[in-house]
Amino acid sequence: MTETAKQEKVNQESKQEQRYYYTVMEEQEGMRLDQFLAAELKEHSRSYIQKLIKEGQVQVGEKKQKPGYRLRVDDAVVICVPPLKELEVLPEQMDLDILYEDEDVILINKQKDVVVHPCPGRYKGTLVNGLLYHCKDNLSGINGVLRPGIVHRIDKDTTGVLVVCKNDMAHKSLAEQLKEHSITRKYEAIVYNNFTQEEGTVDAPIGRSPVDRKKMAVEPKNGKRAVTHYKVLSHLNHQVNHIECQLETGRTHQIRVHMASIRHPLLGDTIYGPKNDMGLTGQCLHARVLGFVHPRTGEYVEFEAPLPEYFQKLLEKYS
């Protein structure tokens, strides 16, 4: 029996709770619960739907299930989408280094010591505050009130190119490309110790450190697959080397953890490397190139952020 979702709303505004009702058809049997709902509710990301399932906002036959639950024919699925929260993050006028902007995306060259999005206890001075001022209401809402438009992020002390989405269509397109590992992401770093080979790949799962939950670590048992390709650009003085890293996956602190795991921690990275910060503020890491298929035109586009001044001075110092 073919049945589309019947939507029960208090009114048409997104500020009200929304309930959706589905009956699983024969051709949908065996699908994961989160996959099924992501296909039906295209206006929401799969990660957001997984969050709702884990919070108990989804029932299958009046029972709560896990995101990976395999559906059966005639299963009755109900999902409750809570009302959108009022945005608590205020716009701030900020000097943004804009590399490119159109109706769908904006590419920013992020500076050092800038946090990408607000977090508990820090609601001011982030890139999102500046974007809210610059873009007004033109940011996608998929990632909620604290991360509007943010489809990926880079660490506070990492510089370089970052793409932000202005609408949900662009956000879903970029999120899917990230999931499929089809986005080009090239970083440059200065690392300790000489290399015996000019290029290589680190394929090692990354997860929370069991020793220090604030850190990430190579975790064969509980980590998620992480792949970083690297090549030496210059051996400099052989005690430090200038390298390029290309990400195949995008785990938290991936380059920092991977390079430290093969005894090439980044200069200035006192979390995963020597406690001596070499006079730097954070790790010497720059997101130089970002390339993706444009969500509207379908054409591949690539953007590049020039090396920051501090990075160039270090190259001169160690050459």
Q: Which active-site residues does the annotation give?
A: 155
Q: In Å, what is the CA distance from 160 to each residue of 114, 131, 156, 234?
A: 11, 16, 11, 20
Distance of alpha carbon 2 from alpha carbon 243, whole angstroms: 56
Distance of alpha carbon 302 from alpha carbon 289, whole angstroms: 7
Residue type for position 73:
V
Distance of alpha carbon 59 from alpha carbon 40, whole angstroms: 15
CB atoms under 10 Å from CB of 109, counted, come to 19
Distance of alpha carbon 193 from alpha carbon 177, whole angstroms: 34
CB atoms under 10 Å from CB of 60, counted, come to 20
Distance of alpha carbon 49 from alpha carbon 235, whole angstroms: 47
* 223 burial type by CB count under 10 A (0-12 exposed, 13-18 middle, 19+ buried): middle
- For residue 314, which of 270, 271, 267 has the smallest C-alpha distance? 267
* DSSP per-residue codes, 20-87: EEEE--GGGTT-BHHHHHHHH-TTS-HHHHHHHHHTT-EEETTEE--TTPBP-TT-EEEEEEPPPPPP
